[in-house]
Amino acid sequence: MRQARGLAAVCLLPGLLLGPAARSAEEAPVSCVETSQCSRQLGYGNVCKDGRCQSYQDETDIFIVVGLSEKSEGLPKAYEPLLAFLPAFAYNPSVGFLFGAVGIFGIVLGDPETTTISNVQAIALYTTKSQFISSITSTVLTDGNTWEFQGDWRFLIFNQDTYGLGTGTTPVSTGFTIGGIGTTAGIPGGQPMDFSLVRFHQNALRKVWGNLYVGPGISFDRYYAIDDESLNLSATPPVVTSHYAYSQVEGFPTGQYNESGLNLNVLYDSRDSTINAYRGGYANLSYQWNPTWFGSTQNSSFVYTEFRYYLGLSDAVPRNVLAFWFIGQGVVSGKMPYLTLPAIGWDARNRSGRGFIQGRFRGTAELYGEVEWRFRITDNGLLGGVIFSNVSTFTRPTVSYQGFSEPGQSLFQNVAVAGGFGLRIMMNRQSRTNITLDLAVGQKTWGFYFGAGEAF
């Protein structure tokens, strides 16, 4: 769960662990004298231990330390259900107190030597500012990784500030003059909104060659009960919000709308872990068509690209990694509703843009890049650390409407930069799952973030 900026105190209560939560790297009975032999023969992430090559594994984790689990070796068994449960509690001025639970379910749906573990993560949180957050994200792989199913399901009763489109100054922040309304009042800060969201995204990808997958998907987002709290057209001067202005210009209702489509995906995935990769790459290209006959409020099309790469820095300590993340996405044709446009922190795992509050930047197109150095702190692997930096840029379309004209913003016309550092506490050594605690600083903002699993 990604938290908004401000001071936060976090308490992660002990969890219940029934077996390992994910598949560890494959062990290989190859004799060795030094780790470099294993890395050359079997790939980065394999080390020499007791005269033979085997997958690197940290010596301990938090459950072993507190006596809730015994140290065990080896791979999970096929078709054996595995569950990790983590209650969570936190405070943040933007959301108040939040409390809830995170559950991680894992199972190997085939031969453990050739099948990566499937995982499903469920989150349910409630805040004292009347926000209810629930989501289920999943990656399910069949025997031999022949099929990969990706899911992102959410139900939110939510409130959040929005700041207009683009990465730079928006017309709403300073006020503008438009026919029929006159000169509007400037809204220099956030524009609070209430809304509810139902989301169902599901892809089915078939392995076609090596690590290459191709497959279709469906996507449905319904935003409803939308309330622009700052909007006041009867005030003197009138107060016009970014959401209202965009919706009026582009012909969308302001209280509810849908974005529903069909997509085609091409995926390359050579990572050694879907939870915490030490090597490999991930590249995804998706084209989505959103016709009105399929439920969208207006016709549109959308393209999404994502790339991740993991560069190992130490044969002896494979968790010392330099990780790269890139996202490029945008509207190709037609118009999409305001809240469905690309926005910082609204990726599938809500992890982009550490240093900025979720939704701080939004636009019709986005380019996002991040680099993170991950390293082990203690020799037993219980503690690790990260140092990271990210940069993002968004577009705003040209507007000519009832006497008002504005040239918009292009990519790289304005950029937003953030960075920070974090602590990693090994929660499950076999799955490489960490508890993550990050402090990030952006432009005039800062944030404290906690969660389970790496940012990307």
| Residue 220, pLDDT score | 97
Residues 1-23, mean pLDDT to the nearest whole number:
37
Contact by Cβ (8 Å): 233, 181: yes
How far apart (Å, rounded) are the C-alpha atoms in residues 378 and 375? 10
Between 23 and 30, residue with greater pLDDT? 30
pLDDT surpassing 50 at residue 157: yes
- When pLDDT is cut at 50, 70 and 90, the band that residue 5 belongs to is very low
Tokens of residue 172, six digits: 């709403």
| Residue 35, pLDDT score | 92
- When pLDDT is cut at 50, 70 and 90, the band that residue 178 belongs to is confident
Range of 47-51, 56-60, 335-339, 403-407 with top mean pLDDT: 335-339
Cis peptide, bond prior to residue 318, ω within 30 of zero: no
Contact by Cβ (8 Å): 95, 133: no
* pTM of the complete model: 0.88
| pLDDT, tens digit, 9 for 90 and up, residues 237-269 | 999 999 999 999 999 999 999 999 999 999 999
- When pLDDT is cut at 50, 70 and 90, the band that residue 64 belongs to is confident
Residues 21-41, mean pLDDT to the nearest whole number:
70
pLDDT surpassing 60 at residue 23: no
- When pLDDT is cut at 50, 70 and 90, the band that residue 21 belongs to is very low
| Residue 26, pLDDT score | 44
pLDDT surpassing 90 at residue 97: no
Q: How many residues does the chain have?
A: 456
221: exposed, middle or buried (C-beta count within 10 Å: 0-12, 13-18, 19+)?
buried
pLDDT surpassing 90 at residue 92: no
CATH number of 9-452: 2.40.160.50
Q: To which H or E segment does residue 278 belong?
A: none
Bridge partners (DSSP) listed for residue 361:
none
DSSP state of 292: G
| Residue 306, pLDDT score | 97
Nearest to 368 by CA among 392, 390, 347: 392
How far apart (Å, rounded) are the C-alpha atoms in residues 439 and 164? 25
Q: What percent of the chain has pLDDT over 70?
A: 90
Nearest to 103 by CA among 17, 9, 11: 17
How far apart (Å, rounded) are the C-alpha atoms in residues 395 and 392? 11
pLDDT surpassing 70 at residue 13: no
**Which amino acid is residue 410, in one-letter code?**
S
